[in-house]
């Protein structure tokens, strides 16, 4: 979608933009814009492909567990489960509770869940931080390209300013 908008803007502005310069200038500027846009689009596609292409099933699983385990829906549902567990053992099964008051079985289950969930979440966060680092590097690269385009545009504007000064002198 972004590619379409950018290409449409470049194509629609070719005629207006080209009218301000001599025959060689618009082609140079437009070619710079087009090549820089293509580089950015290629980089954007590359980052997602790199980080999603080679994920193994357990990496996808850890991403999914991190997504679910870090949500409010999980926290609330887990709290509800714990309160139901305690209510059943205290009130419903008061005489023959399968996990009486200190709730040793519940503590064991919670400890196992935490012991398994924590490393999976950390693995997912590690992959996410690597992906974010790559995006930050790509943003820096894009900013440097933008700087190059700005510099080129500035040079063109200076040339226009000189040409306008020459035209004013000829008119006088």
Listed by start position, the domains of the chain span: 44-171
Measured distance CA(80)–CA(74) in Å, rounded: 10
Lowest-confidence segment of 8-12, 23-27, 146-150, 152-156 by average pLDDT: 8-12
**pLDDT band at residue 111, thresholds of 50, 70 and 90?**
very high
pLDDT tens-place string over residues 25-54: 556 667 777 777 777 777 766 766 766 677
Cα 41 versus chain centre, distance: 14
CB 62 within 8 A of CB 120: yes
pLDDT at 87: 85
Please state the pTM of the whole predicted model: 0.50
CB 75 within 8 A of CB 68: no
Measured distance CA(66)–CA(60) in Å, rounded: 10
* Placement of tokens 């012991």 in the chain: 115
Measured distance CA(71)–CA(111) in Å, rounded: 19
pLDDT at 117: 84
* Residues 74-79, mean pLDDT to the nearest whole number: 91
């Amino acid at each position: 979608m972004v590619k379409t908008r950018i290409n449409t803007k470049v194509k629609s502005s070719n005629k207006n933009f080209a009218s301000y310069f001599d025959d060689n200038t618009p082609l140079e500027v437009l070619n710079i814009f087009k090549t820089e846009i293509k580089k950015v689009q290629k980089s954007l596609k590359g980052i997602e492909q790199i980080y999603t292409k080679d994920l193994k099933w357990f990496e996808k699983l850890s991403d999914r567990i991190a997504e679910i385990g870090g949500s409010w829906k999980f926290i609330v549902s887990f709290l509800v489960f714990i309160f139901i567990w305690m209510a059943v053992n205290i009130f419903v099964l008061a005489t023959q509770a399968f996990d009486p008051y200190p709730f040793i079985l519940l503590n064991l289950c919670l400890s196992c869940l935490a012991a398994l969930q924590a490393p999976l979440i950390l693995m997912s966060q590690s992959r996410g931080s690597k992906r974010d680092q790559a995006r930050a590097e790509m943003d820096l690269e894009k900013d440097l390209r933008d700087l190059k385009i700005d510099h080129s545009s500035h040079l063109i504007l200076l040339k226009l300013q000189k040409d306008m000064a020459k035209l004013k002198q000829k008119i006088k």
